[in-house]
Amino acid sequence: MKKANGNEIIQLFESWAPKKLACMENDPIGLAIGTLNKEVTKVLVTLDVNEEVADEAIEKGCQLIIAHHPPIFRKLSNLRTDTPSGKLYEKLIKNDIAVYAAHTNLDVAEGGVNDLLADALELENREILEKTYSEHLMKLAVFVPVDHAEELRYVLAKAGAGKIGNYDSCSYSTAGTGRFRPLEGANPYIGDVGEIESTEEEKIEVVFPTSMKNRILKAMLNAHPYEEPAYDLYTLAQETNEYGIGRIGTLKETMTLRQFAEYVKERFNVPMVRIVGKENETVSKVAVLGGDGNKYIHIAKRAGADVFVTGDMYFHVAQDAQAIGLNIVDPGHHVEKVMIKGVKEKMTALCDGKLDVEFIESEVNTEPFIFI
Ligand SMILES: [Zn+2]
């Protein structure tokens, strides 16, 4: 199989969790340390990067680390090697280990951190808690001589246009007459220079997400027989490719808040959780948002959640949750460790048969808290 270059690995990663999905202002995602322009045989997947993780990468022969929490979160004003973080950066660079961070883009991605957390809780009928990204649909209407219509419809569908829900190759055609006069310098497919020509044409209409615009136009222009294809391109009010942060869904069976807290402990393998609410209240609709969900309590309440699972709950936000009648289960920020196995499995599948690279789950426990 093909030897893997760091850029190729990250290209596949970003086909899954593109940077455009990041939903935090100035989220320092992407390549943080080192270079991707090198051969990579082993990638270490971790929640955090600390010195122990760097040692693990060295020991296991990894040339790249994919981390959820960016190792350089705030702007650096110096690069001293006598501070803990400076020492870490020095070690990574001296050992030629690159670090790539996927933070809120990985939270939001389909199958990313939020989905992995919802998977762990086996939430059903799952929806996005808060939409953070979507694209407008575009429509292309192209006028083509009847004898080329079938081929052009095929080419447009193959390029990805005309996908609506669980249907592909969707298009609409109307028959009509095209008129034109080739001018000096033209090399017309039909008709002669200086003569007004009319021909039977078909107007083909297809829709596609805005991000596919260039690909669809290129495919259409390549397949169209005319020197100057006539077409309309416009943005529609409808949106598509919706992504968002947090997930909300229902439990397989209703339980009390107390039972649910035990369930969360077991599912996330944590020694304790903090809860806000009445232990005997029954819960079935669950919202979950990895890491710090303090800003989302009202959104979770409005979405109809009986209980909100999130980490790093502040004292006063917990009081606010209590006041609005929203139950909280806080299993700690470290539950985002579910991304380690999730990213490893997803990337192994994406690279399978394409790139010769191994993904390794970090075994370092980066939870700073000890529960006594
Ligand atoms: Zn986090």
Residue 299 confidence (pLDDT) above 90: yes
The whole-number average pLDDT for the span 207-221 is 97
CA 146 / ligand 1 centre spacing (Å): 56
The 10s digit of each residue's pLDDT in 173-205 is: 999 999 999 999 999 999 999 999 999 999 999
Rounded Cα gap, residues 372 and 360, in angstroms: 31
Query: Around 230, how many Cα atoms within 13 Å sit in the side-chain half-sphere?
Result: 10
| Sequence-separated (6 or more) residues with CB below 8 Å from residue 87 | 51, 81
- Residue 353: its pLDDT value, please? 94
Bridge-partner residues for 164, per DSSP?
167
- Residue 291: its pLDDT value, please? 82
Sign of the torsion angle spanned by Cα atoms 154, 158, 164, 167: positive
The whole-number average pLDDT for the span 340-361 is 97
CA 336 / ligand 1 centre spacing (Å): 6
CA 308 / ligand 1 centre spacing (Å): 16
Residue 290 confidence (pLDDT) above 90: no
CA 362 / ligand 1 centre spacing (Å): 16
CA 104 / ligand 1 centre spacing (Å): 8
CA 50 / ligand 1 centre spacing (Å): 15
Residue with tokens 């200086």: 194
CA distances from 109 to 49, 116, 239 (A): 21, 10, 17
The 10s digit of each residue's pLDDT in 10-20 is: 999 999 999 99
CA 68 / ligand 1 centre spacing (Å): 7
Give DSSP secondary structure letters for 3-54. Answer: BPBHHHHHHHHHHHS-GGG--STT---EEEES-SSSB-SEEEEES---HHHH
Residue with tokens 């001018």: 183
Phi and psi at residue 224, to the nearest 5°:
-75, 135
Nearest to 219 by CA among 208, 186, 189: 208
| Sequence-separated (6 or more) residues with CB below 8 Å from residue 197 | 179, 180, 181, 182, 188, 190, 191
The Cβ of residue 235 has, within 10 Å, a number of other Cβ atoms equal to 12
Nearest to 294 by CA among 272, 318, 278: 318
CA 333 / ligand 1 centre spacing (Å): 6
- Residue 300: its pLDDT value, please? 98
CA 297 / ligand 1 centre spacing (Å): 17
Bridge-partner residues for 98, per DSSP?
64
Order across the sheet with 30-33: list the strands: 30-33, 98-101, 64-67, 42-46, 358-361
Bridge-partner residues for 288, per DSSP?
247, 309
CA 292 / ligand 1 centre spacing (Å): 7
The Cβ of residue 25 has, within 10 Å, a number of other Cβ atoms equal to 6
Phi and psi at residue 67, to the nearest 5°:
-120, 150
The whole-number average pLDDT for the span 232-245 is 96
CA 93 / ligand 1 centre spacing (Å): 24
CA 185 / ligand 1 centre spacing (Å): 62
The Cβ of residue 126 has, within 10 Å, a number of other Cβ atoms equal to 17
- For 172-210, letters b (16+ CB in 10 Å) and e give eeeeeebebebeeeeebeebeeeeeeeeebbbbbbbbbe
CA 290 / ligand 1 centre spacing (Å): 6
CA 291 / ligand 1 centre spacing (Å): 4
| Percentage with pLDDT > 90 across the chain | 98
The whole-number average pLDDT for the span 357-367 is 97
CA 272 / ligand 1 centre spacing (Å): 18
Is residue 73 within 8 Å of residue 89, measured between CB atoms? Answer: no
Report the mean per-residue pLDDT for the chain. Answer: 96
The whole model's pTM is what?
0.87
CA 300 / ligand 1 centre spacing (Å): 18
Residue 369 confidence (pLDDT) above 90: yes
The 10s digit of each residue's pLDDT in 117-139 is: 999 999 999 999 999 999 999 99
Structure confidence at residue 216 as a pLDDT band (50, 70, 90): very high
- Residue 34: its pLDDT value, please? 98
Is residue 142 within 8 Å of residue 152, measured between CB atoms? Answer: yes
Residue 98 confidence (pLDDT) above 90: yes
CA 276 / ligand 1 centre spacing (Å): 21
Rounded Cα gap, residues 194 and 12, in angstroms: 52
Residues whose CB is under 5 A from ligand 1 (ion)? 291, 336
Rounded Cα gap, residues 370 and 2, in angstroms: 44
- Residue 82: its pLDDT value, please? 96
The whole-number average pLDDT for the span 214-236 is 97
Is residue 23 within 8 Å of residue 131, measured between CB atoms? Answer: no
Bridge-partner residues for 258, per DSSP?
none
Is residue 211 within 8 Å of residue 105, measured between CB atoms? Answer: no
Token reading at 225: 């027989």
The whole-number average pLDDT for the span 201-215 is 97
Bridge-partner residues for 137, per DSSP?
209
CA 216 / ligand 1 centre spacing (Å): 37
CA 201 / ligand 1 centre spacing (Å): 56
CA 293 / ligand 1 centre spacing (Å): 10
Residue 2 confidence (pLDDT) above 90: no
Structure confidence at residue 276 as a pLDDT band (50, 70, 90): very high
CA 182 / ligand 1 centre spacing (Å): 62
Rounded Cα gap, residues 169 and 152, in angstroms: 11
CA 99 / ligand 1 centre spacing (Å): 17
